[in-house]
Amino acid sequence: MLPFSKLSFWERSIYTDGIDFTIIGAGIVGMSTALHLRRANPSAKIIILERGYLPTGASTKNAGFTCFGSPTELRDDLSKMDENTVWETVSMRLEGLRELFSLVNQAHVQYEACGSWDIIREEEESLTPDFIAYLNEKLFEISGEKTVYAEDKTKWIDAGFSGVKTTYNNRLEGAIHTGRLIEELHRSCTNEGIHFLFGVEVLSFESFDSCVEIHTSMGQLQSAKLLVCTNAFAKDYLDDIQAARAQVLLTKPIANLSVKGTFHMESGYYYFRHVGNRILFGGGRNLDFAGETSTEFETTLVIQEKLTQYLNELILPNTSVEIDYSWSGIMAVGSEKKPIIQKTNKNIAFGVRMGGMGVAIGASVGKQLSKIFS
């Protein structure tokens, strides 16, 4: 690839000269930020830098859940975090989903309002009616929606699961095709005159009085403002960000698949859904927290074996299943799940640490980040 120094006058005039806003990261947060910046700055030059030939992180590696909190995950969060922070974060996720669907057409991203179910295995403790009532009360305060959560004692039977005590339904959650989501956001950005430079890795940046100098694998750029939307890959610049790798497998097509919807297990550490006539199953980070702080896009035997075990014993106990392939994505977590939206000086800001909920919260973070220099 040609370095910036060898670009023509024409190329420089479009892509590298007079940049008003540079965004690092072409994922959900980065592109949402760019679209909101465009609305507020119709004539600005906006550039998005992405080190990969596709967005590299979690935006197209996730399971495609439009989720904001399963009952057991919220129970776990409430045991570790301040109550107000938990519900502020849930509110941001709900707002993020509304914001996301204001940016993209639901049909174009193959949105399914299929609901979600939180699985309680036979050896686990059920949730109390009082706790479910509490969750519904808080969700009503946030969203105005009544009875979001309810116990469903038949879903697991209808789906053919084994070793399950009960399930809890969330009627507001659903699923999307995250590849289509990124495609739609990219199309919207290009239609709005926002330019992408793929295959450009940012090595460092430095703020001066009137601009930011950005040192990349292709040479140096100058931008009036810099917005960093790299999630876990911002851990070298900010405190309280830790990489959290998520591993996923996908089955080959399954005849007469009875599993429909999105499902969570064990406080959200396991999750699966139907994708057509396949099962997409991910999670298991709790088996090796230390090992899964990696930013390497690899899978491990211990987690893949556990996913396969649950697939064969719990999800599809009476079905012959073949694994087609697996992959991993890199999330960002910290001491709390609330995202970081922070200006570090007058020219540089960060919108990172989605807490594993980037699909839900990313567009909301992008909207807030776009206003940070106002």
* Per-residue confidence (pLDDT) for residue 66, from 0 to 100: 97
Q: Encode pLDDT of 207-253 as tens digits.
A: 999 999 999 999 999 999 999 999 999 999 999 999 999 999 999 99
* Per-residue confidence (pLDDT) for residue 56, from 0 to 100: 81
CATH class assigned to 1-112+175-240+336-374: alpha beta
Q: How far apart are alpha carbons 239 and 171 in whole angstroms?
A: 36
259-269 mean pLDDT: 96
Q: Encode pLDDT of 9-25 as tens digits.
A: 999 999 999 999 999 99
Residue 13: which residues within 8 A CB-CB, separation 6 or more?
A: none
Q: Is the pLDDT of residue 326 over 90?
A: yes
Q: What 3-state DSSP class applies to 256? A: coil
* Per-residue confidence (pLDDT) for residue 60, from 0 to 100: 93
Residue ranges per structural domain of the chain: 1-112+175-240+336-374
Strands (E) in the chain, as ranges, are 19-24, 46-50, 65-66, 116-121, 149-152, 164-170, 174-175, 195-198, 202-207, 212-216, 219-228, 242-251, 262-265, 270-275, 278-283, 323-333, 340-345, 348-352
148-174 mean pLDDT: 96
Q: How far apart are alpha carbons 90 and 66 in whole angstroms?
A: 12
